[in-house]
Structure 1
Amino acid sequence: MDSGDTSLPASADLAIRLRPVAEPDLAMFRRLRTEPGLIGLDWPGFTDAGAPARRFAMDGYLGEDDGRLIVEVEQERAAAGIVSYTAGCYAGRASYWSIGIVLLPPWRGRGIGWRAQALLCDYLFQHTPAQRIQAGTHPENVAEQRALERAGFQLEGIVRASEFRAGRWRDGYLYSRLRDDPSPWDAVTGG
């Protein structure tokens, strides 16, 4: 697959693409901040529902050090969720991206998540010099672990007490994909 392509089939009849955030998407952003359980284990509690509009007005969620893109189901022109990326740096010079994904419940379990994360990696590797992209997930989120592995990520290990959730500190799993790792598209296309 050409790393410049930002769309492909999610199944035999479902194609997705990544696109910039548009003003109508802000309603979904507000829901993610105010509906308990909508994003599952990652919900941090109620947060400022006006923050998405302020951020959108500032830079359209396309900042130099972080950003958000909409995962869109092409046939329906429906926003299925959001992918995010945030810059980080190891040892002062080794820049990397941390990525994340939130899919709305109707779109989960349909092969969209791994493809969206793989598309985001292709986009970041094509447009930035980062050598590494990493993602974290919860030990109990087996579906996301499978999605990351299918998107070309490898499990690096357990990050102990890395997040405070549901009243206590919890461990997380850290995954990474390097620029030179095999493309997940090779497994799909037989390349």
Structure 2
Amino acid sequence: MALRPVYEDDLPVLERFLTDPEVATPFQWFGWKDPSLFRRRWQEDGLLGEDGGQLMVASGAQAHGFVAWRKQFSSRTSQYWVVGIQLLPESRGRGIGTRAQELLVRHLFAHTQVQRIQADTDVDNVAEQRALEKAGFTREGTLRDFVFRDGRWRDCVLYSILRGDLAEDPAEGASA
């Protein structure tokens, strides 16, 4: 399992997350979206910009979904990344999300100067909470009425990982 740039052949997979509520999961479905959104952004910058991006989660030629990040500012001089993930239904519950988020954190700490990466998820999304914790994130608290979805405001749980929290990657072993 690896992260890689989005190829043009991946765009139909990404578009499914915008057009199919069953693919997006109940926690990530925010209504119908423009199905050409990813295609337009891919044509602009390959979905890899300075303020954020997306990478495919894949095993060989099989796409499992994607990870994404966007820049946020905590002050005029400090920034951090907010990350997220979406997996296809057949790829959920197999540890792929945990590993993909670990890889994304390592990528962002290796190639950007941020000190903090954060993620949030619905309070009812226990699977994602477990995946974030296994990936090394620390639960920081509850964000009340943080996101509007399916006709009502919902609480989310905030997680973060700091550069100093990063443990050695067990997949790299002693050779790293």
Please give the TM-score of this superposition, normalised by the length of structure 2.
0.94
* CA 1:181–1:187: 2 relative to 1, 3 Å: farther
1:38 aligns with 23
Name the CA distance, whole Å, in 2 between partners of 1:73 and 1:80.
8
Name the CA distance, whole Å, in 2 between partners of 1:93 and 1:152.
26
* CA 1:104–1:184: 2 relative to 1, 3 Å: farther
1:154 aligns with 138
CA deviation after TM superposition for structure 1 residue 44, in Å: 1.0
Q: Quick one: percent identity of the two aligned structures?
A: 48
Q: Which of 40, 44, 59 pairs up with 1:58?
A: 44
CA contact (8 A) 2:23 2:88 kept: yes
Q: Deviations over 1:87-107 (max 9, x none)?
A: 011022221000000010111
Q: Please provide the CA RMSD for this pair.
A: 1.8
Name the CA distance, whole Å, in 1 between partners of 2:146 and 2:171.
32
CA deviation after TM superposition for structure 1 residue 187, in Å: 10
CA contact (8 A) 2:18 2:24 kept: no
1:47 aligns with 33
Q: Map 1:79-98; keep pairs closer than 5 Å.
A: 79-98=63-82
* CA 1:19–1:187: 2 relative to 1, 3 Å: closer
Please give the TM-score of this superposition, normalised by the length of structure 1.
0.87
CA deviation after TM superposition for structure 1 residue 143, in Å: 0.7
Name the CA distance, whole Å, in 2 between partners of 1:176 and 1:69.
20
2:56 counterpart letter in structure 1? I
Report how many aligned residue pairs link the two structures: 174
* CA 1:27–1:176: 2 relative to 1, 3 Å: same
CA contact (8 A) 1:150 1:184 kept: no
Name the CA distance, whole Å, in 2 between partners of 1:142 and 1:185.
24
Q: Which of 62, 69, 77 pairs up with 2:55?
A: 69
* CA 1:184–1:174: 2 relative to 1, 3 Å: farther
Give the stretch that moved more between structures: 151-160 or 176-185: 176-185
1:17 aligns with 2
CA contact (8 A) 1:101 1:113 kept: yes
2:79 counterpart letter in structure 1? S
CA deviation after TM superposition for structure 1 residue 23, in Å: 0.2
Name the CA distance, whole Å, in 1 between partners of 2:168 and 2:156.
23
* CA 1:38–1:184: 2 relative to 1, 3 Å: farther
The gaps in structure 1 that reach 5 residues or longer are 1-15
2:104 corresponds to 1:120: yes
